[in-house]
Homo-oligomer: A and B are copies of this chain.
Amino acid sequence: MSHPVSGLGEFALIRRLAARLGPARRDVVVGIGDDVAAVEVRADRYLLMTCDAQVEGVHFLPGVTPPERVGRKAAAVNLSDIAAAGGRPTHFLVSLLLPPDTAVEWMEAAYDGIAHEAALFGADVVGGNVARAGQLALDLTLLGEVERDRIVRRAGARPGDLVLVTGSPGMARAGLALLKQPAPGLADEERRRLVDAYQLPVPRIREARAMGDVGGVTAMIDVSDGLAADLGHICDESGVGLRLLARSLPVDEGMGRLARSLGVDPLEWVLGGGDDYELALTARPGRAEALQRAVHDATGTPLTVIGEIVPREAGRHLVLDGGQEVPLTVAGWEHFGAGHP
């Protein structure tokens, strides 16, 4: 049986959710239940902060995505932002916007998902807020820290740098397609792998930390809007141009097969898919191999060289297999645009 949160009341709900968390880290001086959370901070680090929301009907469909996965993804997309800065996540605040008829059981499972994903990467849920709303949303804030000499921003790419990406962007787009339409030719295992890429993205915290040990990363971003769009953000902030090599782009085999069966060029999903939460980065050319080896040794995740940074005047191009250069125009997902689901 399912109970609406309106029958529980705000304070009882907070108590019930907070009871699902384990003991807090030692640096948490004040945790859930007070007006604020308080933590001890160290002076040799920068404090990082980011926030990102998962909204019902926009980022997830309540009947389609299990609540535990909604919670895990809500945490993962924030963890991914901390990864892109080279940092370590520390403390989550969970702001819940809840329609009164939200099932308590749904909410508890989503909260478990947040706590589970946070724990996987050493972060704690220390506070939050509950507000009544007409539309369900999990709006998370994540704090993190990074050593002062290790912070990576979007604005550090220079001509001559190589462009790299973790994993295989486009798989999340394939998973979304599978949730919207059946693909009879696909094996269950293949289907699950692609749907997981969309519903359970793995924040690349460990990969980014391994890269920080090596050094040489000049700019980094996580792929949320799409590889082309997010590399465009690095170019915007760094004042540089970009040459991507089509033949170097990693194309997951199952994703490619599904795309072609739907009449889509797989590169369209690789470059424009979004929601992958892979890391796209630029690095000094002499460091690329060491970075690839370190990421592989620490995590098994592939790190692929896909192009190079060029002067701004040279523009942004994709080099096709025949050597022809076409302007890189694949648009990322602008959340208010009309062209994307």
Question: What residues make up the interface of A, taking CB atoms closer than 8 Å to B?
Answer: 5-11, 13, 29-30, 33-43, 45-53, 55, 57-59, 81-82, 84-85, 87, 91, 93, 95, 97-98, 100, 126-135, 137, 139, 141, 143-144, 146, 151, 153-155, 221-222, 237, 334-338
Question: Which residue of B35, B95, B129, B130 is within 8 Å of A85 (Cβ)?
Answer: B35
Contact B41 A45, beta carbon cutoff 8 Å: yes
Q: How far is the CB of A90 from chain B (nearest CB, A)?
A: 10
Contacting pair A131 B336 (CB below 8 A): no
Q: List B contacts of A141 (CB < 8 A).
A: 49, 51, 93, 95, 141
- Cα-based distance from A5 to B338 in the complex (angstroms): 12
How far does the Cβ of A62 sit from chain B's closest Cβ, in whole Å? 13
**Which of chain B's residues has its CB closest to A333's CB?**
B10
Do A46 and B51 form a contact, CB below 8 Å, given A131-B59, A151-B30, A334-B9?
A: no
A and B contact pairs by CB, cutoff 8 A, 8 listed = A6-B338, A30-B46, A39-B49, A41-B42, A41-B45, A49-B141, A58-B131, A95-B141
Cβ A134 vs Cβ B135 within 8 A: yes
Are A30 and B85 neighbours in the complex by a CB distance under 8 Å? yes
**Is the beta-carbon distance between A36 and B87 smaller than 8 angstroms?**
yes
- Nearest residue (CB) in B for A233 is B11
Known pairs A6-B338, A35-B50, A97-B137. 5 more at Cβ < 8 A?
Answer: A29-B46, A36-B84, A36-B85, A98-B336, A130-B335
A58 touches B133 (CB 8 A): yes
Query: Which of B6, B37, B221 meets A49, CB within 8 Å?
Result: B37
Question: Considering the chains assembled together, what is the distance between the CA atoms of A137 and B97 in angstroms?
Answer: 9
Distance, CA A93 to CA B151, complexed state (A): 19
Residue in A81, A126, A141, A144 with the greatest tally of chain B CB atoms within 10 Å:
A141
Chain B nearest CB from A86 CB (Å) reads 10
Q: Given A93-B49, A336-B6, are A36 and B81 also a contact pair (CB < 8 Å)?
A: yes
Nearest chain-B residue to A224 (Cβ)?
A: B35
Q: What is the CA–CA distance of A38 and B58 in the complex, to the nearest angstrom?
A: 29
B131 close to A134 (CB less than 8 A): no
Q: How far is the CA of A34 from the CA of B37 in the complex (A)?
A: 25
Q: Which of B36, B46, B50 contacts A82 (CB 8 A)?
A: B36
